[in-house]
Structure 1
Amino acid sequence: EGVRPLIGPQSWALSLQNGLGSEEIIARFVPTARLLRGSTAQGATLLEPGRIRWAGQGPTLLGLLPGVAQPPQPQAQEIIAALGRAGLPAGFTRQLEAVLWEKLLVNAAINPLTALLDLPNGRLVEEPTLRVILSDIIAEALPLARQHGVRLSPEEAVARVEQVCRATSGNISSMLQDLRGGKRTEIDFITGALLEEGRRRGRSLPLNRLLWALVAGSTRQARHHRV
């Protein structure tokens, strides 16, 4: 809503947000043929307005929405080039669904735990009990992710999440940053998206549902105290 006056009849939009579902909201304002979605793996902590501590760079991949069969237009390539000039090398993929679901798996394991326990990412693999919880979260979510092209085995999925924890060990997850700041978190777009997919496919995810409820409740409490 805040940028609606900037959207013209030929505008393109790109969503690089965590989780799933943001592009459906953006599609209310931009036709799907001119809407890109993507995944980026940047470890960063907002220290104060206008000041960010960057903790590591991973791949940035863009793609079209499902059902949009046309090849990437010149405007999409211009967006990729602009990201590159800004120090964010990006590429285009037609397998973005699997990329997004693999990232969702990582976010669903790391973000709620770090937010609830007020810990940096790396602490999740330093404590044996937390590593067990990470594995249990992944075990619940992986069958859903495999329906969307993720080809990781359970062992590979756990190793992938632990690798991200170690690579961003000092990073404060976006969900924890939001909780500390009394802001709305991404829990509905991350764990909530998993729960919705589980509902559609008749799968129960009790641990993820518990984490969703705890973060949602903590978010309301934090926002109440901020007010």
Structure 2
Amino acid sequence: MDMQAWRSRLMSGQWFSHLPSLLQDSLLAMARVRRLSPGQRLFKRGDSPCGLYAVLEGAVRVGAVNEQGKEALLSVIEPPHWFGEICLFDGQPRTHDAVGVGHSILLHIPQSALLALLDEQPQHWQPLALLMSHKLRLTFINLEQLALLPAPARVAHRLLMIADGYGELEPARRVLQLPQEQLALLLSLSRQTTNQILKDLESQGILNLGYGEIEILDTERLRALATI
């Protein structure tokens, strides 16, 4: 695909599509295509800032693994999401590991080039701040749900969030490429608990479970469950 095809894909996301056209053009002019093989690391915790990324194909897992091999999965970033913007603001090292899921294609906006653009045109800091604040808002919501909602409601809410790309996609997807183990890690639930909740939802006709995917059959009933 050429850059025009990538632009079309990025325009399906709310953040990029609402940028001023001049900023869109500038980002794409600076962009480099980066390809990741399955399991290939993009960056690790402690790495120096390297810029902004957009996922075009595949996905990127962001999280950490401790010395005992236990994984904390913060997010799985899919097209057409952008990430990596925090280091633009504070210049600090990367906070987590980012690893490719399957064969993935990213656009990379190098840190130095982007900072040079922002020095020349500081008005463009605002949309980048909005990108970061949107994710901060989602983080607060997830922390609240972890403390207050029962597990079935958390599962339902997270499925709805993934379906609409955490606010990036319209219309929302019905079929999610989402292994149950991955969903369990995102929600800090055991795989057994997550599996039982999903099977209960399937028995009620709300979901259809396939190998590595979840199909939402009844969005309204799933949304009702998410508000309990």
More strand per residue:
2
More helix per residue:
1
Q: What is the TM-score when the length of structure 2 is the normalising length?
A: 0.28
Q: What is the TM-score when the length of structure 1 is the normalising length?
A: 0.28
